[in-house]
Amino acid sequence: MYSSCELSSTRRFLSSVLLQTCGVTEPLRLINRYVFKFMATKTTEVTALGRPLFPGMLYDCRTDAFIPGVTLWDKKSLNEDLDTHTKDQTYLKFSSSDCFSDKSSLLNISASLKASFMSGLVEVGGSAKYLHDTKSSNQQSRVTMYYSETTRFEQLTMTHLSKFTYPQVFDQKTATHVVTAVLYGAQAFLVFDRTLSEDEDKQEIERKLSIMVKKIPAFSIKGNGSVELSEAEKKIAENISCKFHGDFHLEQKPTTYMEALQVYKQLPNLLKDNPQNVIPVKVWLYPLHLLDTQAARLVRDVSTSLVSYTEAVMEDLEEVERRCSDLLRIKKVNIFRDIKERLTSFQSSLRSYKTVFQKALCKVLPAIRGGEMEEHTLEDIMKIHETSPFSASTQWLDDAKSELDLLSSYTKSLKGIKAVDAHDLSTIRLNPDIDVVVCFTFTSLRHEGQYLSTLKEFLQSNEFKKLEGEKTLYSVESDQKWFKDPDVITRTRETFSLFKSFSEANKDDEKICFIISAISDSTIPGSSIYLYEQGKLTDKRFQPVTKPPAPKVKSIQGNSVSLKLQDSPTLETVKYRVEYREVKPDEKEEWIFTNTSHEDFTLPGLETVGKVGVSEASDTVSAELPSSNISVYLIFLQHIFTRFPRFRFELQPQIGIYNLSNLSLQFQIFPP
């Protein structure tokens, strides 16, 4: 430890030696140089982070806070003997990383200052606000351009350190260090973002974004202020947004790639034209206890390894919150409100936990540095995190994403059928123009589960306040989720298949509406088909009729055709209804219908026109009408059940003796 008296004695001794042995009559400058080299071994470099840190200002390394309004010297003494010289340097760097570790490396932040920032002890300003600018979504590609310029360096002299105007400040013990030197300049971060769509290749987009940003220094601006870009470059630039965090005074901050390019070209001249606008970029701190033994001191600092672990925990929490936000942005979440409620509940608990975790760090860091607590106190906080339910957040989000992916796969498979929330479902079923609403309903989405309850329980327990004593291990029970139950998934697939075929068969009926929704019902795990008739729910387990196989042609004899009518696999046929008519050009014929309860049906009285017959084909009628002297019969077959599905078959000609160029069979289910 070196007091002010000891430094003063050293200074006088060296001055005397130089004067007597070397004939140096003005040794003060040399003395200051050598003593400052000695002091440099005791100083600490700290990044200013936009804080107003000037020579002579007091600083508390326990909290990484400056002490405004309290100083060892009056203003006149400070300004008289400052040693100032120019320090013109410019740096330009690029980064494609958004993690805090790489961000802090750009700003050359020490491990100790990182810990203070993560705990909320340090409030940053200017360009350092970049540290708070994290990607809001994993669907963002990001490249950052870092520009730094320094102009001058100021430091205290030995005159300051040997004579204090207010020595009583040492006894107040509010500070541990004094700012002895400051490097001035300005910094800027241009953050370029590109949001990806679902079908875009993230790596390819990031590659193109990186190329475009790194090209900025090479672009030249014409006399009219324009920049010459190729058509391909212009197209890429249109989708790039920009945010500016800097210490430079701009008339308007850039928000687009082209605006950022213009700003970058202006940066070198901004400080040259206005040198008074520089701010502290880096400062050097000297321990007060080396000037006076009564001063407060930094007893210990937190180990780098523990700071790195804390940083990793904070990064993980940021990533979890980002993933949760991404899931909440999915459009289907607004339809399946139960999932949205769970995600929102999780997000709220996570944000509360981050605040609690940060407050715990904020409490122990100054105490460890001041010697009031041991470093293991911070280790205890990390152990509490490891045993907390929040350490399982990633797995819970994985499950939430799996559930949403499954729901999306079902909704995408049903093209033309809307997925609606409860409000829209009510509107549709009460629509007077719609008689029947058939709804494929997910029934197991409303489940908070043990995990979310455990999160809330942990937050209420104030575990971080119980740093002494035994730690409680919170075991997160693996909730039995419906989409992980093989039996439920099998039943859901079967139900979905019935609903899909049923909807396709009746898609042209304007009186029937098919939709997808979610209604909680613990008695029907997974899914079910809800049937609404005349606005009223009539069946929660509606079993639609599946499409029957196509009728078979048994035989052709004389003027008749014998058919074997097929039943639906899912419902017993009550009776059949066969409709047919003779089709002639420019003439309309009435339909003739026949009811039968037998599977075997013979269509009589057909006119012989050639070797044609019937065979199974698609579901639509698309026959060419024959010439006027040929009769064609369209035959429709209806299965009469108890509900409303309708199926149609088209039977194309095959070898035979009757012209059945279109044998269409329609199956319809009527109410009782």
Q: Indicate the pLDDT class of residue 633, thresholds 50, 70 and 90.
A: very low
Say whether both 556 and 535 belong to one domain.
Answer: no
Q: Residue 424 falls within a domain, yes or no?
A: yes
Q: Quick: pLDDT tens for 243-299.
A: 999 999 999 999 999 999 999 999 999 998 899 999 999 999 999 998 888 899 999
Cα–Cα distance measured from residue 650 to residue 414, given in angstroms and rounded to the nearest whole number:
24
Q: Residue 241 falls within a domain, yes or no?
A: yes
Cα–Cα distance measured from residue 75 to residue 55, given in angstroms and rounded to the nearest whole number:
11
Q: Residue 23 falls within a domain, yes or no?
A: no
Domain termination site, one of 255, 290, 325: 290
Say whether both 228 and 105 belong to one domain.
Answer: yes
The HSE-up count of residue 589 (CA atoms within 13 Å, CB side) is 15
Q: What is the pLDDT of residue 504?
A: 86
Domain termination site, one of 234, 258, 290: 290
Phi-psi region of 106 (alpha: psi -120 to 50; beta: other; left: phi over 0): alpha
Cα–Cα distance measured from residue 564 to residue 600, given in angstroms and rounded to the nearest whole number:
5
**Contact assessment for residue 289 and residue 1, using Cβ atoms and an 8 Å cutoff:** yes
Q: What is the pLDDT of residue 630?
A: 32
Q: What is the pLDDT of residue 663?
A: 43
Say whether both 664 and 639 belong to one domain.
Answer: yes
Say whether both 576 and 529 belong to one domain.
Answer: no
| Summary count for the chain: helices (H), strands (E) | 18, 22
Q: Residue 156 falls within a domain, yes or no?
A: yes
Q: Structural domain tally of the chain?
A: 3
Say whether both 535 and 570 belong to one domain.
Answer: no
**Contact assessment for residue 158 and residue 31, using Cβ atoms and an 8 Å cutoff:** yes
Token pair for 161: 């350190």
Q: What is the pLDDT of residue 660?
A: 40
109-114: long-range contacts, CB 8 A cutoff, minimum separation 24: 109/47, 109/49, 110/45, 110/46, 110/47, 111/302, 111/304, 111/307, 111/308, 112/61, 112/64, 112/301, 112/302, 112/307, 113/46, 113/47, 113/49, 113/64, 114/307, 114/311
Domain termination site, one of 476, 505, 539: 539
Q: Which residue has 């840190």 as its token pair? A: 53
Say whether both 346 and 429 belong to one domain.
Answer: yes
Q: Quick: pLDDT tens for 464-496.
A: 766 554 455 555 555 678 999 999 999 999 999
Parent domain of 502: 304-539
Say whether both 565 and 520 belong to one domain.
Answer: no
Cα–Cα distance measured from residue 169 to residue 70, given in angstroms and rounded to the nearest whole number:
8
Q: Residue 146 falls within a domain, yes or no?
A: yes
Task: Quote the mean pLDDT of the chain.
Answer: 81
Query: At residue 641, does pLDDT exceed 80?
Result: no
Q: How far is CA 545 from CA 413, 442, 500, 570, in A?
A: 20, 20, 11, 6
Q: Which amino acid is at 297?
A: R
Cα–Cα distance measured from residue 606 to residue 619, given in angstroms and rounded to the nearest whole number:
24
How far apart are the two ends of the chain, measured CA to CA in Å?
102
Q: Residue 29 falls within a domain, yes or no?
A: no
Say whether both 473 and 503 belong to one domain.
Answer: yes
**Nearest residue to 528 via CA among 537, 514, 518, 513:** 518
Over 589-625, what HEC string results?
Answer: CCCEEEEECCCEEEECCCCECCCCCCEECCCCCCCCC
Query: At residue 19, does pLDDT exceed 50?
Result: no
Token pair for 566: 């097929």
